[in-house]
Chains A and B, each alone.
Chain A
Amino acid sequence: MRIVFVEIQNFRGIKKLEWAPASAVNCLIGPGDSTKTTILDAIELALNPRPYMLADDSDFFDLDFNQPIKIIVTLAGLSSEFRLEDRYGMYLRGWNAQGNTIEDEPAEKLEDALSLRVMIDKSLEARWSIFNDRISEEESDPPTIRYKDSKQLATTRLGPYAERHLGWGRQSVLTRVSESTDNISLQLAEAGRAARDAFRQGNQIVFKEAASRAEQLGKKFSVPIRDKYVAELDVQGVNITAGGVSLHDGKLPLRRLGTGSSRLIVSALQHDTGGSHIARIDEIEHGLEPHRIARLLKYLKHPANDGDKALPPQIFMTTHSPVVIRELVARDIFTVRSKAGITEVRSVAATAKDRDTAQRHLRGSPDAFLAQRVLVGEGRTECGLLRGLDAWWNLKGEDSFALRGVIAINGGGNTTAPVIAEHLLDLGYDVALLLDTDEPSPAVLTNSVRGKGGTFFEWPDTCSTEERIFLDVPWNTVIALVKFAEECEGSESARANINNVCNKKSLPVISDLALPNSLDTDDFRRVLGMAAKNKNRPWFKEITRGERLAEIIAPCLDQISGKPLAKTISRLRRWIDA
Chain B
Amino acid sequence: MRNDPDAGIAALAASVARGSVVAAAGCGKTEQIARAVQITKGRRLILTHTHAGVDVLRSRLKMHKVPSDKFRIDTIAGWCLRYAASFPMRSGLSCDAPKDEEWNAVYKATAKLIKCGAVKGVLVSSYSGVFVDEYQDCTGLQHQVIKAIAVHLPVCIFGDPLQAIFDFKGQKPVDWDADVFPVFSKAGEMITPWRWRKTENKTGNDDLADWLAEVRCTLEQGGAIDLTKRPGCVSWKQLPEDPRFRQGKIVGVCKSVMGKAKDARLVVIGDPVKISARSALAQQLAAAGFSNIEPLGCKQLYSFAKKIEAATGHARLELVLDFISACMTQVEKPAFMNAMKSRQDGKKLGTAKFGDLVKIGIAVAEGTMDKSVLELMQGFHAREATRLFRREMFFAMRSALQAKSTRQYDTLTDALWDVQNRIRHTGRSIGKRSIGSTLLVKGLEFEHVVIIYADNMSRKDWYVALTRATTSVTILSPSECFSPGA
- A472 interfacial by beta-carbon distance below 8 Å: no
Selecting from A89-97, A166-174, A314-322, A452-460, the interface stretch reads A89-97
Selecting from A33-41, A102-110, A501-509, the interface stretch reads A102-110
- B178 interfacial by beta-carbon distance below 8 Å: no
Question: Which residues of B sit under 8 angstroms from A83, Cβ to Cβ?
Answer: 121-122, 125-126
- Taken together as a complex, chains A and B put the C-alpha atoms of A491 and B20 apart, in Å, by 100
- A84 interfacial by beta-carbon distance below 8 Å: yes
Selecting from B57-65, B111-119, B200-208, B435-443, the interface stretch reads B111-119
Contact B125 A81 (CB under 8 A): yes
- A309 interfacial by beta-carbon distance below 8 Å: no
Question: Which residues of A sit under 8 angstroms from B56, Cβ to Cβ?
Answer: none
Contact A108 B122 (CB under 8 A): no
Question: Which residues of A sit under 8 angstroms from B95, Cβ to Cβ?
Answer: none
Chain B 107-133 near chain A by CB (<8 Å), digits 1 or 0:
000000000111111111110000000
Contact A106 B87 (CB under 8 A): yes
Contact A105 B122 (CB under 8 A): no
Question: Which residues of A sit under 8 angstroms from B121, Cβ to Cβ?
Answer: 78, 83, 89, 92, 106, 112
Question: Which residues of B sit under 8 angstroms from A104, Cβ to Cβ?
Answer: 89
- B88 interfacial by beta-carbon distance below 8 Å: yes
For this complex, into which size category does the number of interface residues on chain A fall? Answer: 20 to 34
Question: Which residues of B sit under 8 angstroms from A78, Cβ to Cβ?
Answer: 121
- Whether A90 contacts B82 in the complex (CB less than 8 A), given A105-B87, A107-B117, comes out as yes
Contact B116 A108 (CB under 8 A): yes
Q: How far is the CB of A459 from chain B (nearest CB, A)?
A: 61
- B343 interfacial by beta-carbon distance below 8 Å: no
Report the nearest B residue to A80, measured CB to CB: B125
Chain B 301-330 near chain A by CB (<8 Å), digits 1 or 0:
000000000000000000000000000000
- B249 interfacial by beta-carbon distance below 8 Å: no
- A577 interfacial by beta-carbon distance below 8 Å: no
- Taken together as a complex, chains A and B put the C-alpha atoms of A83 and B125 apart, in Å, by 6
- Taken together as a complex, chains A and B put the C-alpha atoms of A75 and B117 apart, in Å, by 20
- A272 interfacial by beta-carbon distance below 8 Å: no
- Taken together as a complex, chains A and B put the C-alpha atoms of A106 and B72 apart, in Å, by 23
- Taken together as a complex, chains A and B put the C-alpha atoms of A82 and B122 apart, in Å, by 9
- Taken together as a complex, chains A and B put the C-alpha atoms of A106 and B90 apart, in Å, by 8
- A86 interfacial by beta-carbon distance below 8 Å: yes
Question: Which residues of B sit under 8 angstroms from A86, Cβ to Cβ?
Answer: 72, 126
- A398 interfacial by beta-carbon distance below 8 Å: no
Q: How far is the CB of B264 from chain A (nearest CB, A)?
A: 42
For this complex, into which size category does the number of interface residues on chain B fall? Answer: 10 to 19
- Taken together as a complex, chains A and B put the C-alpha atoms of A82 and B120 apart, in Å, by 14
Contact among B72, B88, B122 for A134, CB-based, below 8 A = B88
Contact A106 B119 (CB under 8 A): yes
Contact among B88, B89, B116, B122 for A89, CB-based, below 8 A = B122
Question: Which residues of B sit under 8 angstroms from A108, Cβ to Cβ?
Answer: 116-118, 120
- A18 interfacial by beta-carbon distance below 8 Å: no
Contact A90 B86 (CB under 8 A): yes
Chain A 121-164 near chain B by CB (<8 Å), digits 1 or 0:
00000000000001000000000000000000000000000000
Contact B118 A85 (CB under 8 A): no
Number of cross-chain contacts by CB at 8 Å: 60
Q: Most B CB atoms within 10 A — which of A86, A104, A105, A134?
A: A105
- Taken together as a complex, chains A and B put the C-alpha atoms of A83 and B122 apart, in Å, by 5
Q: How far is the CB of A112 from chain B (nearest CB, A)?
A: 4
- Taken together as a complex, chains A and B put the C-alpha atoms of A92 and B87 apart, in Å, by 9
- Taken together as a complex, chains A and B put the C-alpha atoms of A501 and B124 apart, in Å, by 79
- Taken together as a complex, chains A and B put the C-alpha atoms of A89 and B121 apart, in Å, by 8
- Taken together as a complex, chains A and B put the C-alpha atoms of A81 and B83 apart, in Å, by 18
- Whether A90 contacts B122 in the complex (CB less than 8 A), given A104-B89, A134-B86, comes out as yes
Report the nearest A residue to B90, measured CB to CB: A105
In A54-89, the 8 Å CB interface with B consists of: 78, 80-86, 89
- Taken together as a complex, chains A and B put the C-alpha atoms of A91 and B119 apart, in Å, by 11
Question: Which residues of B sit under 8 angstroms from A90, Cβ to Cβ?
Answer: 82-83, 86-87, 122
- Taken together as a complex, chains A and B put the C-alpha atoms of A86 and B123 apart, in Å, by 11
Report the nearest A residue to B115, measured CB to CB: A108
Q: How far is the CB of A250 from chain B (nearest CB, A)?
A: 48
- Whether A92 contacts B122 in the complex (CB less than 8 A), given A86-B72, A108-B117, comes out as yes
Question: Which residues of B sit under 8 angstroms from A85, Cβ to Cβ?
Answer: 72, 122-123, 125-126
- Whether A107 contacts B126 in the complex (CB less than 8 A), given A90-B82, A92-B121, A112-B121, comes out as no
Question: Which residues of B sit under 8 angstroms from A82, Cβ to Cβ?
Answer: 125
- Taken together as a complex, chains A and B put the C-alpha atoms of A134 and B87 apart, in Å, by 8
Report the nearest B residue to A133, measured CB to CB: B89
Contact among A84, A94, A103, A134 for B126, CB-based, below 8 A = A84
Question: Which residues of B sit under 8 angstroms from A94, Cβ to Cβ?
Answer: 118
Question: Which residues of A sit under 8 angstroms from B123, Cβ to Cβ?
Answer: 85
Question: Which residues of A sit under 8 angstroms from B86, Cβ to Cβ?
Answer: 90-91, 134
- Taken together as a complex, chains A and B put the C-alpha atoms of A94 and B116 apart, in Å, by 13
Report the nearest A residue to B91, measured CB to CB: A105
Report the nearest B residue to A94, measured CB to CB: B118
Contact B118 A89 (CB under 8 A): no
Question: Which residues of A sit under 8 angstroms from B89, Cβ to Cβ?
Answer: 103-105
Question: Which residues of B sit under 8 angstroms from A103, Cβ to Cβ?
Answer: 89
Question: Which residues of B sit under 8 angstroms from A92, Cβ to Cβ?
Answer: 119, 121-122
Q: How far is the CB of B210 from chain A (nearest CB, A)?
A: 45
Contact B120 A89 (CB under 8 A): no
Q: Most A CB atoms within 10 A — which of B87, B90, B124, B125?
A: B125
Contact among A80, A91, A106 for B118, CB-based, below 8 A = A106
Question: Which residues of A sit under 8 angstroms from B122, Cβ to Cβ?
Answer: 83-85, 89-90, 92, 106, 112
Contact B118 A105 (CB under 8 A): yes
- Taken together as a complex, chains A and B put the C-alpha atoms of A467 and B123 apart, in Å, by 74
Q: How far is the CB of B123 from chain A (nearest CB, A)?
A: 8
- Taken together as a complex, chains A and B put the C-alpha atoms of A91 and B121 apart, in Å, by 12
- Taken together as a complex, chains A and B put the C-alpha atoms of A85 and B117 apart, in Å, by 15
Contact A107 B118 (CB under 8 A): yes
- Taken together as a complex, chains A and B put the C-alpha atoms of A108 and B119 apart, in Å, by 8
- Taken together as a complex, chains A and B put the C-alpha atoms of A81 and B125 apart, in Å, by 7
Q: List 18 A-B contacts (CB under 8 A).
A: A80-B124, A81-B125, A85-B125, A86-B72, A86-B126, A89-B119, A89-B125, A92-B122, A94-B118, A103-B89, A104-B89, A105-B118, A106-B90, A106-B122, A107-B90, A107-B117, A134-B86, A134-B87
Excluding A84-B126, A85-B126, 8 further A-B contacts by CB distance (< 8 Å) are A78-B121, A80-B124, A80-B125, A83-B126, A85-B123, A89-B121, A105-B89, A134-B87
A-B pairs with lowest CB-CB distance, top 6 = A108-B117, A89-B122, A83-B125, A80-B125, A90-B86, A112-B121
